[in-house]
Amino acid sequence: SDLQKQEERGELLQPLIFVLLVLCSVLLYFKVSLMDPGFVKPEEEVKEGENKGQGVVIPQIPGDVKLRRCGYCLVKQPLRAKHCQLCQHCVRRYDHHCPWLENCVGERNHPLFIVYLSVQLVVLLWGGHIAWSGLYFEQSWEWVQHNIFLLVCFLLIFTFTIVVLLLLVSQLYLISCNTTTWEFMSHHRISYLRHSELENPFDQGIILNLWRFFC
């Protein structure tokens, strides 16, 4: 049969891989959106100067910078933690609150968030290629009417691809510098960065930063 011939030629492998990538993207979405991003629990005892997830505190951070108690949930915040008013929790190594996930991106789910963006980008690029290959251009209104669905799909995929690509590139840049979106945007308002001798006291080089983040 035609199906068997296509299977023998390997033509069914690509659609299968595409479906598996889409499924993987959906599963990653729910995993990242539903998991604990690194909420600071009230019962946790946080020692002054602790920098969980970052190893030993970098010496360039001034010694007079004290760990503060959150004015909302009243827990003692570890270094690099921030209170999210939408989640109503303090989050360790807070990066940002993602409205698409309806969850914070923090210490625990940040690496999976990067994996999710990467898989999503591959799916979008592949889907854009499929949509583009289905278009044949003619300068007529009748052609537009017959291909309006493909045109809309291609424009949506193109828009989402640009958004995901920019977000992924910016995230990888910040990770390579060992900083977070919150620290990058609010550097002048964060005490342990504002009073530091270095612009970014957590930066230990691109390779070590990436290694510590992903491994």
Cα separation, 190 vs 77, in Å, equals: 13
Contact in structure between 73 and 42 (CB atoms under 8 Å): yes
Q: Decide: helix, strand or coil at residue 105.
A: strand
Contact in structure between 83 and 73 (CB atoms under 8 Å): yes
What are the backbone angles phi and psi of residue 97, rounded to the nearest 5°? -100, 120
Instruction: Give the active site residue among 98, 104, 153, 215.
Output: 98
Residue 129, CB half-sphere, CA atoms under 13 Å: how many? 9
Q: At 139, which amino acid appears?
A: Q
Residue 98: active-site member: yes
Q: What residues act catalytically?
A: 98
